[in-house]
Amino acid sequence: MFIRLCEDVVADGITVVGDQRMINNDGIDFDACRRVRVGNSHFKTGDDCIILRAMREWKDEHVACEDFVVSNCVLNSRCQSIRMGAPSDDTIRNALFKDIKMSGNNGIFFDYPIRYTRPYDEGYMDMSNIVFDGFEGSSYGSSVQIVAEPGIKIRGVRDVTFKNFNVKCARPLRFIGNHDSILSNIRLENFTAEVKAKTPLEAVATEPLTFRNCTLNGAKMPDGDLVTPRGKRKPFIRSRGGSWETLNQSTAK
């Protein structure tokens, strides 16, 4: 289901089931929408369950995806439970995800690779004021990851809070910015995770990554700000990706 440029959307008590053997069968893609409420719903998909996007049809278009509340939902995905934006998007802000049960592959997924950029930029998205509150479940990927590939130049990911979590996952929690795309004010609060990976948490170019009452693999994390390396600046080297949104895009747009 794809919902674009809509306002005052309510989806309550719905069930979305997709064949988990297939790709590109998302639950709901919200693109450049405002004032959205999703509640008391179940999603089982082969691709992402819930997505927030702010896609620009051409280089000089400006759109925002904002003012969301997603609550009391069950998400099961062979891809991602929640996906937040793509590198060439515009503005995504002011969203609350609350009381969510998730399972499957990855849980919360912010992913900004070069292969998803449009031909007219090297990254553009701006993400801010996002809260994830009251999450539980298990993932055979990562429960939480924010990753900006080296060379990407998004405007920012800032003021993102993960609180009241009790999760299990196989792969590390990842907060990976880069020299040109710093993650700012990322906060974990009342956060408990069991991670099978040898290194349960990876953090680069995150200023700061703040912990308050957090436990990883049974070990209490010191409260305070984690100082992370910024990493070396790397050039943007465009690669041709297989994403539908990057194919057949004219550089003149």
pLDDT value at position 249?
52
Q: Is 14 exposed, middle or buried (0-12, 13-18, 19+ CB in 10 A)?
A: middle
pLDDT value at position 253?
43
Q: How far apart are CA 167 and CA 103, in angstroms?
A: 10
Contacts of 198 (CB under 8 A, 6+ apart): none
Identify whether the C-beta of residue 52 lies closer than 8 Å to the C-beta of residue 84. yes
249 within domain boundaries: no
Q: How far apart are CA 143 and CA 107, in angstroms?
A: 4
pLDDT value at position 99?
98
The conformation of residue 221, written as its DSSP 8-state character, comes to P
pLDDT value at position 58?
85
pLDDT value at position 227?
83
DSSP helix/strand/coil, 244: helix
Tens digits of per-residue pLDDT, 39-83? 999 999 999 999 999 999 888 899 999 999 999 999 999 999 999
253 within domain boundaries: no
Q: What is the pLDDT along the chain (253 residues), one digit of tens a residue?
A: 899 999 999 999 999 998 888 878 899 999 999 999 999 999 999 999 999 999 998 888 999 999 999 999 999 999 999 999 999 999 999 999 999 999 999 999 999 999 999 988 999 999 999 999 999 999 999 999 999 999 999 999 999 999 999 999 999 999 999 999 999 999 999 999 999 999 999 999 999 999 999 999 999 999 999 989 988 899 999 876 656 566 555 443 4
Tens digits of per-residue pLDDT, 187-212? 999 999 999 999 999 999 999 999 99
Closest CA to 74 of 145, 31, 16: 16
198 within domain boundaries: yes
pLDDT value at position 116?
92
242 within domain boundaries: no
Mean pLDDT taken over the chain? 93
Contacts of 60 (CB under 8 A, 6+ apart): none
Number of domains in the chain: 1
Range of the domain at 58: 2-236
